[in-house]
Amino acid sequence: MDAVRLRELQAPLKQRYRDEPGSACVALSAEADFSDAGVTATVQTWSGAVRAGLHPATGGDGSDACSGDMLLQALLACAGVTMRSVATAMGVDVRSARLTARGEMDVRGTLGVSRETPVGLGSITVDAELDTDADDATLTRLGELTERYCVVARTLARPPHLTVRRAGGARS
């Protein structure tokens, strides 16, 4: 896809969202359950069910997906699509790309070993290695715009709220 085709696809959407701002609000959703044994959650994905479990550093055996890895994968998916869209809009020819995400977690926080240790991934870095003829200034701008428009990256900057409730109403 080139910049002209991308603009053709997005122009009517952008105009509708300017004219009717409420139409720009879309609902996203995901589902998981405790259908499998053990300390796991089975998440429904577009390509099928994925069972997530404990990371080996917290007692898992490594046979289940790690939700921290899944978070990094979601970040790369979003950053990759965003970067490709921005590059297309900028007219930057990217012949190929390899994106990696890395994060560190001190498991003392999630295991309750240390209340002073934060729970979650600390510093997360995303590296994009592009095969392109673009100059350094263009690549810097591409990175800045990707970070600005990446939904998952922006969401990580504002953590979501978790609500827990009883299914089917109150029980006695």
pLDDT mean for each 10 residues of the chain (172 residues) = 92 96 94 92 94 96 95 97 96 97 96 95 94 97 97 91 84 56
Q: What is the pLDDT of residue 85?
A: 96
Residues 106-129: tens digit of each pLDDT: 999 999 999 999 999 988 999 999
Residue 38: C-alpha distances to residues 9, 32, 34, 41, 48 (Å): 46, 15, 9, 9, 20
Residue 29 within any structural domain of the chain: no
Say what the pTM is.
0.89
Residue 4 within any structural domain of the chain: no
Residue 17 within any structural domain of the chain: no
Q: Over the range 20-30, which residues count as b (16 or more CB within 10 Å of their CB) and which as e? A: eeeeeeeeeee
Give the pair of three-digit tokens for residue 155: 């969401």
Q: Under 8 Å CB-to-CB from 35, ≥6 apart: which residues?
A: 42
Residue 2 within any structural domain of the chain: no
| SS3 category, 47 | coil
Residue 137 within any structural domain of the chain: yes
Provide the 10 A C-beta neighbour count for residue 56: 12
* Domain extent at residue 123: 66-157
Instruction: Provide the phi-psi class of 59: left if phi over 0, else alpha when psi is between -120 and 50, else beta.
Output: left
Q: What is the pLDDT of residue 169?
A: 64
Residue 9 within any structural domain of the chain: no
Residue 170 within any structural domain of the chain: no
Q: What is the pLDDT of residue 168?
A: 79
Residue 90 within any structural domain of the chain: yes
Place of tokens 């295991």: 111
How many domains in the chain? 1
Q: What is the pLDDT of residue 111?
A: 96
Q: What is the pLDDT of residue 1?
A: 87
- Tell me, what CATH number does 93's domain have? 3.30.300.20
Instruction: Say how far apart CA 72 and CA 128 lie, in whole Å.
Output: 14
